[in-house]
Amino acid sequence: MFLGTMIYALINSAILALMAIGFNLTFGISGVANFAYGAVYILAAYASWLLLNLTGISFWLAAPIAILLSMAFGAGMYRFVLLRVRGQALSEVIATFGIGLAVLELFNYLGLVGFEYTLPVLIDESFMIADTMVDMQRILIVLMAGLLVAGLWAFTHYTRLGLAFRGIAQDERTALTLGMDSDRIAMLAVSFGCGLAAFAACIVIPLGSISPSEGYEVLIKALAVCIIGGLGSTGGVILASFLIGFAERLTDAYISSHWTMIVSLAAILIVLVIKPSGFFGRQKELEERI
Amino acid sequence: MGAAPILEVRELYKNFGGVQAISDLSFELAEGELLGLIGPNGSGKTTAVNLITGFVKPTKGDVFFRGRRITGVAPYAIVGLGIARTFQMVKPFYRLPAYKNMIIPLYSPRVKKMAGGRYGDRDAVALDLLEEVGFERDAQVAYKTASALPQGYLKRLELAKAISLQPDVIILDELFSGLSLAEVASIVPIIEKLGMEGKTIIMIEHRLKELFRIADRVVVLNYGQKIADGKPGQVMESDAVKKAYLGVEA
Amino acid sequence: MSRLNQRRERIDRGIKARAGDVFALCSWREMLYLLAPRLIPVVGFLGLPLVLDDYWQRVLLSVAVFALLAISWDILSQSGMISLGQSLFFGLGAYCSGILNHYFGWHPLVALPAAALLGGLVSTLFLLPVLRLRGVYFSMVTLIIPLMLVRIVEATKIFGGTEGLSGIAPLPSKWVELYLIVAVLLGVLFGFRRMLNSDYGLVLKGIKDNDRSVINAGINIYWFKTQALFIASSIGALAGAFMTHVYMFVGMPVFALDYSILPIAAAVVGGPGTLAGATLGAVILVPLSEILRGIGGLRIVFYGIFLAVFIVGLPEGLFHYVERKYHQFERWVEVE
């Protein structure tokens, strides 16, 4: 039983990592605030669902299309909204928050909730691992999370575009003088982040059903992971996902499910008080401000 | 030497995530001295000042003010003790008139303390201070919005803000940069006057000719290390300094 | 009609120049010019309760409450803190007042101010740790804490749990209700507007603009931010405490997203940076929201869109726009 809880904790951590990775890319690594992140997650889910149920194409086609649509949404949001308030972090937050709010509440209003609003699992099989039933989807989630995290790390450390993402966050002016079009790169960062959110939605939503209020939860979980792990650090995302994932699962198993969210939220507050830059965040001096 | 130094920097080290910005920096400052802090670009001059004023915490080492250890003290508190500095990139509150820019330093606890517990008329004090640094009163330059003022006036405004805090030590970070010869010539008397009032001054400068006319002593930094410390004339004769600035074996 | 060789020129109106300083006392017209913008809200808020019917009186009450929340948001934003969770202050104030009345039997008129201060204190303590961090962290934490508190109440069932506390004592009469909140609103509006325009306010705005410069002036910015936070959260808590006595109930809904979003939309639409703009925004959006009540949840969709559109398209807000038109006229002139 304990081993079962451990396995599900691992899966939970993988889910958290998947959710956080896109936000980390946009905000942590590239420095662009995107508080519509949760909305994009849900948007992608509904887009997939619509494509599946209205046009009858297979999920293997619908999902990539949904991901591309989310990327386009992200790029559009940058081009028409974020671009005009670029640099004023607080306006970025409000503007993207407003958009995210509008999208999520629109879905809430349209009332598209219920068991029929769900996405299909990729491979419908289950395995017995150490006396616990684990379905293929969940195993896939863990695999995907690992791949994505490793991929992101490699991308931001070894590819030109990835390094550019980091460059514009560190010092935009220098990046500009080096010939990087910081606006285009920021737009790509937002777009990629949205794409990653969409990807996460496509593999995690099949575990349950689509619910707009989950959009807020996704944003908060992504925030929690990024703050605790340290904005911008891929290693931090891994560590924080494990920490929160295990804490949540253990709380759920041994205390009560009501307390799971309290645990993650309390964790954020504690980390902010003790080590605000997160576990692996770079300690920034007053000159650079945390 | 007679009296104890007013400011002492002892074996300061600062490492910014892999970049050793300052290594083993030590020097003393006597009260009333005007010290020039010079060195090629990137040699750590501004970092040294940030370490002294508390904006950056040292990796190792200490700073002493009047014999008291001030390493790690918050920057606003260091100002309260009597050390004021200007910034290299002047960033006034652009939408406010020049004299309104002075209100904020005049609102600080230090000013209240030095004035004996009461603030007084901040607007009047601001206008007086600005006149002292060269804002012509009859032309009402002090009433102009900061965004409308040229660099020379903005630098003077920055200087006035530091002076308003009635500090014992003033640190000027590249005050002369961006100014014409005439503007520099008009600011130098203000600095000399501060020296005559007994204030201790540190000036980071690139414009050596102007600096050497007024500096009592000069410390030269290169790649975060002190390579020379002495009178202006002597220091410029040293081989290490020539190599640092010119990159040539003398 | 080519505008290529032209530019917009804005000149103060003649009456503005004449009404400057003590010269306004020379003529009734000039004095009226200065007083009118201030008299309109005063007369409006004091007089409307007498002419409106019950339903619209309720709306006016709502306007005042949301105006207070919007003013609270504006004070924070002028000090460099963007709050995404006004419902935190509102909810804490609501619960404090409910608790003081329900468990300790305090009279509403005593519980109200006490709850305002207590709510402000608790909010400030919650947010103290993040004041040293970048502004975005403040926003994130204000977003998170109300959600956390809702779940804690739900899980631990304290203070009535999911059912909340009912039977809270109401205020003496509906007229007391209305005029109390209107008086508070006017007091807060004019009082804190004055404070923000003074040197103290200048320090706060300086902290938002260039906090390194303010630190360099020897001022402890965290102490000032704490003060601004306490003031703003107390105002929000007062609004919450007030509503507890109007509804005679307090429960989990006090932490609802509505109380967080509408004040921001009101301040952004009305014009951030002047408390009057926040009030104007509330005056526009709350009745609008009432009229749109029929469309239910779609309201928040509109707030969200409004927020995004205004912060990007008209960041100065309506109040500044109107103010500018009032004081200046503009015309096209040839570029020399």
- Chain A residues touching C132 at Cβ < 8 A: 276, 290
Q: Are strands B169-173 and B60-65 parallel, antiparallel or unpaired?
A: unpaired
> Å from C186 to nearest chain B CA?
28
What pLDDT, on the 0 to 100 scale, is given for residue A137?
A: 82
The DSSP-derived string for B61-87 is EEEEETTEE-TT--HHHHHHHTEEE--
Average the pLDDT over B215-238 and give the result.
89
What pLDDT, on the 0 to 100 scale, is given for residue A91?
A: 79
Average the pLDDT over B174-190 and give the result.
90
What pLDDT, on the 0 to 100 scale, is given for residue A287?
A: 38
Name the pLDDT band for B247 (thresholds 50, 70, 90).
Answer: low
B104 at the C interface (CB within 8 A)?
Answer: yes
Q: Contact B55/A282, CB-based, under 8 Å?
A: no
Name the pLDDT band for C138 (thresholds 50, 70, 90).
Answer: confident
What pLDDT, on the 0 to 100 scale, is given for residue A289?
A: 44
Q: What is the pLDDT of residues C99-135, one digit of tens each?
A: 999 999 899 999 999 999 999 999 999 898 888 877 7
> Å from A240 to nearest chain B CA?
22
Task: Examine the pLDDT at C91 and tell me if it is beyond 70.
Answer: yes
Q: Give all domains of chain A, ordered by start, each with its CATH number.
A: 2-274 (1.10.3470)
Residue of A43, A80, A90, A94 best to disrupt the C interface, most CBs of C under 10 A: A94
Name the pLDDT band for C274 (thresholds 50, 70, 90).
Answer: confident
- Chain B residues touching C78 at Cβ < 8 A: none
What pLDDT, on the 0 to 100 scale, is given for residue B2?
A: 56
Which pair of structure tokens corresponds to residue A269? 């507050």
What pLDDT, on the 0 to 100 scale, is given for residue A223?
A: 83
Domain that holds residue C160: 39-334
Whole-number Cα distances in Å, A252 to A130, A137, A246, A258, C162: 20, 21, 10, 8, 20
Nearest CA in chain C to B84: C216
Nearest CA in chain A to B55: A286
Instruction: Give me the number of domains chain C comprises.
Output: 1
Average the pLDDT over B86-99 and give the result.
89
Top CATH class, B1-82+167-250: alpha beta
Through-space distance between the first and last CA atoms of chain A, rounded to whole angstroms: 43
Q: Contact C221/B76, CB-based, under 8 Å?
A: yes
Determine, yes or no, domain membership for C13: no
Nearest CA in chain B to A287: B55
Q: Contact B85/C209, CB-based, under 8 Å?
A: no
- Chain C residues touching B53 at Cβ < 8 A: 216
The CATH number of whichever domain residue C222 belongs to comes to: 1.10.3470
Q: Contact C311/A106, CB-based, under 8 Å?
A: no
**Residue boundaries of the structural domains of chain B:** 1-82+167-250, 90-162
Name the pLDDT band for B1 (thresholds 50, 70, 90).
Answer: very low
Residue holding tokens 């002493």?
B64
Task: Examine the pLDDT at A283 and tell me if it is beyond 60.
Answer: no
Nearest CA in chain A to B57: A285
For residues B119 and B105, the answer to whether their CB atoms sit within 8 Å is no
Return the H-helix or E-strand segment holding B203.
strand B200-204
What pLDDT, on the 0 to 100 scale, is given for residue C2?
A: 65
Distance CA B247, CA B143 (A): 47
Percentage with pLDDT > 70 across chain B: 98
Greater pLDDT, C141 or B48: B48
Low-confidence winner among A124-138, B8-22, B210-224 (lowest mean pLDDT):
A124-138
Distance CA C70, CA C79 (A): 14
Considering CB atoms only, which of C132, C302, C311 is closest to A94? Answer: C311
Average the pLDDT over C156-172 and give the result.
86
Determine, yes or no, domain membership for C21: no
Q: Contact C312/A99, CB-based, under 8 Å?
A: no
What pLDDT, on the 0 to 100 scale, is given for residue A89?
A: 66
What pLDDT, on the 0 to 100 scale, is given for residue A156?
A: 79
Distance CA A145, CA B210 (A): 62
Q: Contact B75/C216, CB-based, under 8 Å?
A: yes
The DSSP-derived string for C147-176 is HHHHHHHHHH-GGGTTT-EE-----S-HHH
| Average per-residue pLDDT for chain B | 89
What pLDDT, on the 0 to 100 scale, is given for residue C154?
A: 83
Average the pLDDT over A242-267 and give the result.
81
Greater pLDDT, B59 or B239: B59
Q: What is the pLDDT of residues C302-321, one digit of tens each?
A: 888 888 888 888 888 888 88
Residue of A101, A211, A219 best to disrupt the C interface, most CBs of C under 10 A: A101
Q: What pTM was computed for the model?
A: 0.87
Through-space distance between the first and last CA atoms of chain B, rounded to whole angstroms: 33
Determine, yes or no, domain membership for C2: no
Determine, yes or no, domain membership for C210: yes
Determine, yes or no, domain membership for C20: no
Q: Between the ranges A4-13, B88-97, B141-150, B167-176, where is the mean pLDDT highest?
A: B167-176
Q: What is the pLDDT of residues C177-220, one digit of tens each?
A: 899 999 999 999 999 999 999 999 999 999 988 888 999 999 99
Q: Contact C307/A272, CB-based, under 8 Å?
A: no
Determine, yes or no, domain membership for C19: no
Low-confidence winner among A85-94, B98-107, C274-283 (lowest mean pLDDT):
A85-94
Q: Contact C209/B93, CB-based, under 8 Å?
A: yes
ipTM of the complex: 0.89
Residue C276 CA from chain centroid, whole number? 9
Name the pLDDT band for B159 (thresholds 50, 70, 90).
Answer: very high
Residue type, C320: H
What pLDDT, on the 0 to 100 scale, is given for residue A288?
A: 41
Task: Examine the pLDDT at A144 and tell me if it is beyond 60.
Answer: yes
What pLDDT, on the 0 to 100 scale, is given for residue B249?
A: 52
Average the pLDDT over B41-69 and give the result.
91
